[in-house]
Amino acid sequence: MRLRGWCWQRTAADICLQVLVIFGVSLDADARDQSLICVSGRLVRLIPNHEDDKEMSALKLLFEHRLDADPLKARSEWLDIVESRSLLWGFISSPKRELIRSVLNTLNVEIVKRARPPNVFNFASASVGNMFLAG
């Protein structure tokens, strides 16, 4: 299933985040450029509460998580998430974990490539869900 152009933005309110990449929806470049910027902050809030489903609850917790406000602690926390050492991965199945990590790793590679000390990426208070969508 592919959503193109502004169709994605119009239907975003009706779609939960689980329908995105995790469950097989791929977005073409135009849709990402035009729409995800507008709706990325709202997508994480659209994940429904599934108190009886530990994995969905863990996914919601992961995507809603904000890194520490201290830049050094936030960077360390980010690396723990990317390297799958964070407790946030606890109830997320291996296939979903590896799919999400591949997106986060792609973003991390871009961050590392663009780092020119002393100008480095500031991870302070970053949202994992927004970083996933940016990846």
* Strand positions, DSSP E, 1-135: 2-3, 26-27
32 near 6, Cβ under 8 Å?
A: no
Mean pLDDT of the chain: 75
Cβ atoms of residues 128 and 65 within 8 Å: yes
Q: Is residue 53 part of a domain?
A: no
Residue 114's domain spans which residues?
Answer: 65-135
* Percentage of the chain exceeding pLDDT 70: 65
pTM of the full structure: 0.69
Kindly report the length of the chain: 135
Among candidate residues 62, 51, 54, the one with its CA nearest the CA of residue 17: 62
Tell me whether residue 52 is in a domain: no
User: What's the rounded mean pLDDT across residues 40-49?
Assistant: 67
In a domain, 59, yes or no: no
Q: pLDDT, tens digit, for every residue of 73-118?
A: 999 999 999 999 999 999 999 999 998 999 899 989 988 888 888 8
Q: Is residue 22 part of a domain?
A: yes
